[in-house]
């Protein structure tokens, strides 16, 4: 009666989340150190701007005249954002989506046929498996080198390219390691993409949150044949509910033209982006600049707090995040199993962290987001460290 996809998605809840769900059913409070939803951690876009921008946008959108690529006023505002970042991307090379997850699906359908492969970094983000399944493509992973600040292992990447490879995913700043690819790494990646005539899908949703350097090195600024840059308002402006993301298409003109034409048809099939939210984009981007500056400082402060506390634990080691919201921590004790550790922490202290295997990390690691309030980080991370001590 059902598809093969339906059978693949009938997986049982893993033990960690069964335990969390049981705690919540009993009315217990669980401190989630994994969620990157900043609304759960007390960070919100200014209500004063929303109260003006949203009604104005609703008025502008009261007559439904959809554009499959997205309303021009929104795409022009995104073009201006990139111009301030030092990139020249025409507004007609930008496609609006209701978020980065669907942007990935669009990109997979644009670039690959069923059974083709997409290269993604390892450690990887768990949602990729579901998106790849829905798109009918396979994932193949290239290595990030933990010994050297999670750098792109370009030799390993190139060795994984086969006749079925259709694109390379870059995530920078990376989730969950916090690594930011350097200009040298980006140029090396672009050279590989050029040699093999492969598109780069560049996920830059954490781009505003850099802890060193002023500008993010971007594949769109290289000579790669085709780059699809993904971003959106969810992380950038703490607006996950706005459901505004985008794809910026750059590279060789013929490849860009074919990409835009195909994406226009895909988007026109669904027209999934909220019209009022599109008309709000210019105001949200321009009037939210002062908020973004304070938001960036707050994320940096929370990151520094987490680093300072975790650095006190002799059984733990990690590379300081260079950007983003997450940190991958190695447990330097062969007697500690990462899943057992996460379960014990949840049962004893009601603190949720992810074991490393959720992200295809080698044993033994755990992953947290450091965007929780400083007071929560101080109280919970101390308990986390204490739970590593057998005494």
The string of DSSP letters for 347-391 reads: HHH-EE-EEGGGGTPPSSEEEEE--S-HHHHHHHHHHHHHTT---
pLDDT value, residue 205: 98
Q: What is the mean pLDDT of the chain?
A: 96
CB atoms within 10 A of CB 309: 18
Domains of the chain by range and CATH?
A: 4-44+290-386 (3.90.1150.10), 62-287 (3.40.640.10)
**HSE-up of residue 242 (Cα within 13 Å, Cβ side):** 29
Does 135 score more than 60 pLDDT?
A: yes
- Say if residue 258's pLDDT is above 80: yes
With a cut of 80, say whether residue 114 has pLDDT above it.
yes
| For residue 291, pLDDT beyond 90 | yes
Secondary-structure percent of the chain, ordered helix, strand, coil, rounded to 5:
50, 15, 35
Task: Give burial (CB, 10 Å; 0-12/13-18/19+) of 25.
Answer: exposed
- pLDDT over 60 at 56, yes or no: yes
**Could you check whether the bond before residue 283 is cis, i.e. omega within 30 degrees of 0?**
no
Largest CA distance in the chain: 67
pLDDT bucket at 6, cuts 50 / 70 / 90: confident
Tokens representing 370 are 């450091």
Whether the per-residue pLDDT at 125 is higher than 80: the answer is yes
Reply yes or no on whether the pLDDT at 391 is more than 70: no
| pLDDT at 278 exceeding the cut of 60 | yes
Cis peptide before 123 (omega within 30 of 0): yes
Average pLDDT over residues 317-345: 97
Location of structure tokens 């994994």: 34
Give the containing element (helix H, strand E) for 307: helix 289-310
Find all residues with CB under 8 Å of 14, minimum gap 6, and list them: none
What confidence category does residue 389 fall into, taking pLDDT thresholds of 50, 70 and 90?
A: confident
Instruction: Round to whole Å and give the CA distance between 281 and 357.
Output: 38
pLDDT over 90, % of the chain:
94
Instruction: Place 13 in a pLDDT band, splitting at 50, 70 and 90.
Output: confident
Q: Quick one: pLDDT band at residue 390, thresholds 50, 70, 90? A: low
What are 29-46's pLDDT values in tens digits?
Answer: 999 999 999 999 999 999
Q: Are 31 and 250 in contact (CB under 8 A)?
A: no
Q: Is pLDDT above 80 for 11?
A: no
pLDDT for residue 7 is more than 90: no
Q: Which of 180, 202, 208, 198 has its CA nearest to residue 246?
A: 202
Percent of the chain past pLDDT 70, that is, above it, reads: 99
Residue 225 has pLDDT above 80, yes or no: yes
Residue 4 pLDDT: 86
Are 286 and 77 in contact by the 8 Å Cβ rule? The answer is yes
* DSSP category for residue 248: E
Least confident of 9-18, 85-94, 203-212, 309-318: 9-18
- Report CA-CA distances (Å) from 80 to 31, 75, 88, 272: 39, 9, 9, 23
Residues 65-84: tens digit of each pLDDT = 999 999 999 999 999 999 99
- State pLDDT tens for residues 201-210: 999 999 999 9
Q: How many secondary structure helices (H) and strands (E) does the chain include?
A: 14, 14
Q: What is the pLDDT of residue 2?
A: 87
């Amino acid at each position: 009666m059902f598809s093969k996809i339906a059978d693949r998605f009938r997986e049982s809840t893993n033990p960690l989340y069964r335990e969390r769900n049981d705690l919540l059913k009993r009315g217990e409070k669980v401190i989630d150190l994994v969620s990157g939803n900043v609304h759960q951690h007390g960070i919100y876009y200014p209500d004063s701007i929303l109260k003006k921008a949203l009604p104005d946008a609703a008025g502008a959108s009261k007559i439904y005249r959809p554009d499959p690529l997205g309303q021009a006023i929104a795409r022009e505002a995104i073009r201006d954002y990139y111009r301030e970042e030092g990139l020249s991307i025409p507004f007609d090379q930008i496609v609006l989506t209701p978020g980065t997850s669907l942007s990935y699906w669009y990109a997979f359908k644009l670039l690959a046929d069923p059974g083709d492969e997409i290269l993604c970094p390892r450690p990887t983000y768990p949602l990729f498996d579901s998106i790849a399944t829905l798109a009918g493509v396979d994932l193949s992973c290239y290595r990030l080198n933990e010994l050297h600040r999670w750098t792109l292992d370009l030799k390993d990447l190139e060795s994984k390219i086969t006749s079925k490879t259709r694109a390379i995913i870059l995530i920078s700043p990376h989730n969950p390691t916090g690594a930011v690819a350097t200009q040298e790494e980006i140029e090396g990646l672009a050279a590989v993409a050029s040699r093999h005539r492969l598109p780069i899908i560049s996920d830059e949703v954490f781009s505003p949150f850099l802890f060193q350097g002023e500008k993010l090195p971007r594949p769109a600024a290289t000579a790669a044949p085709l780059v699809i840059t993904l971003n959106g308002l969810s992380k950038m402006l703490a607006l996950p509910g706005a459901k505004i993301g985008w794809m910026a298409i750059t590279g060789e003109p013929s490849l860009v033209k074919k990409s835009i034409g195909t994406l226009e048809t895909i988007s026109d099939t669904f027209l999934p982006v909220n019209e009022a939210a599109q008309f709000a984009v210019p105001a949200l981007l321009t009037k939210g600049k002062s908020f973004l500056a304070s938001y960036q400082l707050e994320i940096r402060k929370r990151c520094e707090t987490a680093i300072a506390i975790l650095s006190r634990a002799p059984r733990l080691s990690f590379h300081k995040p260079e950007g983003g919201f997450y940190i991958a921590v190695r447990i330097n004790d062969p007697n500690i199993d990462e899943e057992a550790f996460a379960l014990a922490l949840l049962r004893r202290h009601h603190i949720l962290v992810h074991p490393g295997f959720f992200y295809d990390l080698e044993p033994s690691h755990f992953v947290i987001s450091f965007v929780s309030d400083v007071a929560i980080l101080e109280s919970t991370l101390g308990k986390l460290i204490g739970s590593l001590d057998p005494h």
